Amino acid sequence: MISEPERLLFEPLIRDIERLKAARKAIILAHNYQTPEIFHGVADLRGDSLALAREAAETDADVIVMCGVRFMAETAKLLNPHRTILLPDSRAGCSLAESIRPQDVRELRRRHPGVPVICYVNTSAAVKAECDACCTSANAVAVVESLDSARVILVPDEHLARYTASRTDVEIISWHGHCEVHERFTASDITELRALTRAYVLAHPECPDDVQQAADYVGSTSGMIAELTARRPASALLLTECSMSDNVAAVHPEIHFLRPCNLCAHMKRITLENIRDCLERLAPRIEVPDEVAPKARRAVLRMLELTASPRAALAESGASTRPGAPLGV
Ligand code: 13P
Ligand code: SF4
């Protein structure tokens, strides 16, 4: 999965991490945006933010190392209040999570009384505590429809909100948050590429709307993988974080990946060195304040309960391939 010279370079660190993992009874979870030496070299479980939340809910390890960003580690802590959760670099944040505060959610509720609030998992625990349910890009439609309300508030990502609205009859009230990585893609990137190649273009729902409209497929990181596995195009362009292509290419060497991608500086704070260090020191630990944790946990659990349904399973498998296409149920 990683080249021979890379393997030799990383081997001493990987060996240290494996030894510490066993000594600490630890498990390593890695998001799809982690570098290949982490994703294929030391991770026990890998996936999108929904899969990582589910894995975090089911582990019986003493220690969870979250190779991702802070909101993912907080979600793991909410689901495992008595386990040690480590985030190898405590500065690994997320522009979306920073785009909304608890008081913004309270103000939205004041302006739209009685309308339920759903927050994207890319939010702080304090924001989750103000919301009725949480969602990820893999299950946003299922969560929105499960609340039995003609209108819902969906925060903070504006593009995910519009993507979700295009797939449901529920009216969506959105917020103005953006991902600093996905908002850098433009529709003209796709137009220029189409003039040169016949690559299959897959975009994350955090991309701007015109990018989503121009893409062949729009879906979460797990949806993209499912779509590539089913379709096996000769060449593909993933409009998302750069490491996604590297990680999928290792599993699908038959697909040629084009590389105009963008890096997430937050995800890239996680390295083999700081994974080893955090296992050695059992720090930095992620804690969620007592006044926030029970309500935030309720929002996350509601998502996990609601999405254990066939509809959610369909949505997660990437059944919808064009913006506006029905989910097929
Ligand atoms: P996924 O839920 O698709 O893994 O995306 C998380 C994320 O942070 C995308 O930028
Ligand atoms: Fe946050 Fe965007 Fe990075 Fe995902 S890619 S963690 S949404 S900043």
Q: How far is the CA of 28 from the centre of ligand 2 (A)?
A: 20
**Among the listed residues 164, 135, 60, the one whose alpha carbon sits nearest the alpha carbon of residue 303:** 135
Residue written as tokens 């349904």?
A: 309
The closest ligand to the CA of 220 turns out to be: 1
Q: How far is the CA of 141 from the centre of ligand 2 (A)?
A: 20
**Among the listed residues 177, 75, 173, the one whose alpha carbon sits nearest the alpha carbon of residue 126:** 75
SS3 assignment for 36-97: HHHHCCCCCEEECHHHHHHHHHHCCCCEEEEECCHHHHHHHHHHCCCCEEECCCCCCCCCCH
Please name every residue paired with 119 in a beta bridge, in sequence order, or none if there are none: 134, 155
pLDDT at 308: 62
Q: Whose CA is nearest to atom 3 of ligand 2?
A: 264
Centroid of chain to Cα 171: 24
Q: What is the pLDDT along the chain (329 residues), one digit of tens a residue?
A: 667 777 778 899 999 999 999 999 999 999 999 999 999 899 999 998 888 888 888 888 999 999 999 999 999 999 999 999 999 999 999 999 999 999 999 999 999 999 999 999 999 999 999 999 999 999 999 999 999 999 999 999 999 999 999 999 999 999 999 999 999 999 998 998 888 888 999 999 999 999 999 999 999 999 999 999 999 999 999 999 999 888 888 889 999 999 778 999 999 999 999 999 999 999 999 999 999 999 999 999 999 987 664 334 334 433 232 232 221 21
Q: How far is the CA of 267 from the centre of ligand 1 (A)?
A: 11
Q: Interior CA angle at 246 toward 184 and 18, to 5°?
A: 120
Mutation pick for ligand 1 pocket among 124, 134, 204 (CB with most ligand atoms within 8 Å): 204
pLDDT at 57: 85
Q: How far is the CA of 23 from the centre of ligand 1 (A)?
A: 31
**The two three-digit tokens of residue 314, written as one number:** 């369909």
Mutation pick for ligand 2 pocket among 261, 267, 270 (CB with most ligand atoms within 8 Å): 267
Q: Could you confirm whether domain 182-258 is CATH 3.30.1300.30?
A: no
pTM: 0.90
Q: Could you confirm whether domain 4-93+267-287 is CATH 3.30.2350.10?
A: no
pLDDT at 329: 16
Portions of the chain given CATH number 3.40.50.10800? 4-93+267-287, 182-258
The closest ligand to the CA of 267 turns out to be: 2
